[in-house]
Amino acid sequence: MADSTASSTPSGAEPNTAARPVYVIGGGPGGLAAAYALRAQGVRAVVLEKSDRVGASWRRHYDRLHLHTTRRLSGLPGLAMPRRFGRWVSRDNVVRYLEKYAEYHELEIVTGVEVSRVERSADGTGWLLHATGGRELTGAAVVVATGYNHTPHLPDWPGRDGYTGDLVHASEYRNPEPYAGRDVLVVGVGNTGAEIAVDLVEGGASRVRLSVRTTPHIVRRSTAGWAAQYTGVLVRRLPVGLVDRLAGPMGKLSVPDLSAHGLPRPDTGLYSRVTEGSIPVQDVGLIDAVKAGKVEIVAAVDGFEDGKVALADGDRIAPDAVIAATGYVRALEGLVGHLKVLDARGKPLVHGAHTPPNAPGLYFTGYTNPISGMFRELAIDAEKIAKAITRTGSAARLDAVRT
């Protein structure tokens, strides 16, 4: 892996745009897939990764994590996931796969380089990247793939700083060992919060409560061998209202009514929630744990008072530890916010092969949370982005670089 430097043009000369590579920011699955797809089109792509290895975010996930999508539908372009990984691929095997992917395709990756700002090049024909160590890198196009789960979000709850118990974001959780025999509150009932709660129960926590603000849709990860992802793929392009109507009866057939345990059925449609950025919780033990009373559902957290957690229903509880599964933010404002390519929530206005009208040559991948599976959509987007960039003909060709 070699470092890359900015392109330069002698005074008065025409800019040699064809000599410029495409820079891919981020060495996770989205960035690696985009780099390979570009390489397959004969375009030079350079991946810039701020950590010292690819797949950095996957390495930080909790130990028991497995993909909720099937191995067959989670492979990236040009290399299938090995059969020995099983149907539901573990965190460690995802990391192994990403390492092998980069090696197998001989991707050009520069580690230890963080890009802080992207702006148009002075000649207006490409992009200038400001990076670690004062680097200024000029590329024909840029693919931003820094990840959906980029920066942990910990709510600024009133009284939070005065809480004396253990309080961590879910990004710091690895396994239940430190919580054995302890009373733990998990805040947030997305897939992460649900799975951590089950992990704590199985790991010997004395009491596990799960704080819920908005009741989620819960689906079985697999029913009679049919993965929930298959349904997600089938309905991906159907009208939202139609999917909502179909999902209601199906949910009632496959998931028991947990209203008596504090989890009533949601009053909004499943796919409507997805379009708002909230995917269903895939059951990996939560239903049984709630039915058995091993995971207790409590109200949302309003703040902290006198060393206790204040809940929205007026209750005050005193757990030994609080794990906040309260999500992440994209943190793209400093990188591209000045280009007016983000919406009010900080998410890219376009993604995949689409490029903003005011920022041609700037692409985003991995900033949606699709019902059909993140890895699958990253793979599809990578090939679309590569074809879009190839059509412009402005990036450095591999054959030219080699000669």
Closest of 304, 335, 326 to residue 115, by C-alpha: 335
Sign of the dihedral through C-alpha 182, 171, 325, 318:
positive
Report the pLDDT averaged over residues 2-14.
Answer: 36
398 and 320 assigned to the same domain: no
Is the per-residue pLDDT at 401 higher than 90?
A: no
pLDDT tens digit sequence for 299-348: 999 999 998 999 999 999 999 999 999 999 999 999 999 999 999 999 99
Does residue 181 or residue 3 have the better pLDDT?
Answer: 181
Report the pLDDT averaged over residues 147-170.
Answer: 93
**For all residues of the chain together, what is the average pLDDT?**
92
Report the pLDDT averaged over residues 15-22.
Answer: 72
Query: For 7-16, 160-169, 191-200, 229-238, which range has the lowest pLDDT when averaged over its residues?
Result: 7-16
* CATH number where 64 lies: 3.50.50.60
pLDDT tens digit sequence for 365-384: 999 888 899 999 999 999 99
Report the pLDDT averaged over residues 180-193.
Answer: 97
Task: Tell me, yes or no, whether 1 lies in a domain.
Answer: no
282 and 353 assigned to the same domain: no
What pLDDT score does 373 carry? 93
Task: Tell me, yes or no, whether 2 lies in a domain.
Answer: no
Is the per-residue pLDDT at 7 higher than 50?
A: no
Q: DSSP assignment of 162-215, as one string?
A: G--SEEEEGGG---SGGGTTSEEEEE--SHHHHHHHHHHHHTT-SEEEEE-SSP
pLDDT tens digit sequence for 241-292: 999 898 988 888 889 999 999 999 998 899 898 888 788 999 999 999 999 9
184 and 316 assigned to the same domain: yes
Print the domain residue range for 356. 17-150+330-402
315 and 184 assigned to the same domain: yes
Split at pLDDT 50, 70, 90, the class of 5 is very low
Give the predicted TM-score (pTM) of the model: 0.91
Sign of the dihedral through C-alpha 259, 281, 370, 366:
positive
pLDDT tens digit sequence for 84-102: 999 999 999 999 999 999 9
Task: Tell me, yes or no, whether 180 lies in a domain.
Answer: yes
224 and 136 assigned to the same domain: no
**Are 320 and 313 a contacting pair, CB within 8 Å?**
no
Q: CB within 8 A of 6, min separation 6: which ones?
A: 128, 135, 136, 137, 138
Is the per-residue pLDDT at 66 higher than 70?
A: yes
271 and 284 assigned to the same domain: yes
Last residue of a domain, one of 291, 324, 357: 324
51 and 109 assigned to the same domain: yes
Task: Tell me, yes or no, whether 7 lies in a domain.
Answer: no
Split at pLDDT 50, 70, 90, the class of 13 is very low
Report the pLDDT averaged over residues 60-81.
Answer: 96
CB atoms within 10 A of CB 183: 16
**Alpha carbon distance 47, 34 (integer Å):** 9
298 and 396 assigned to the same domain: no
Query: 39 φ, ψ to 5°?
Result: -60, -40
What pLDDT score does 276 carry? 82
What pLDDT score does 381 carry? 97
Is the per-residue pLDDT at 167 higher than 90?
A: yes
Is the per-residue pLDDT at 178 higher than 70?
A: yes
Task: Tell me, yes or no, whether 10 lies in a domain.
Answer: no
Split at pLDDT 50, 70, 90, the class of 8 is very low
Number of domains the chain contains: 2
Split at pLDDT 50, 70, 90, the class of 192 is very high
Task: Tell me, yes or no, whether 3 lies in a domain.
Answer: no
Last residue of a domain, one of 324, 340, 366: 324
Task: Tell me, yes or no, whether 208 lies in a domain.
Answer: yes
pLDDT tens digit sequence for 101-122: 999 999 999 999 999 999 999 9
Task: Tell me, yes or no, whether 66 lies in a domain.
Answer: yes
289 and 364 assigned to the same domain: no
Query: Tokens for 98?
Result: 């990403």
Split at pLDDT 50, 70, 90, the class of 15 is very low
42 and 142 assigned to the same domain: yes
30 and 172 assigned to the same domain: no
Last residue of a domain, one of 324, 347, 362: 324
182 and 80 assigned to the same domain: no
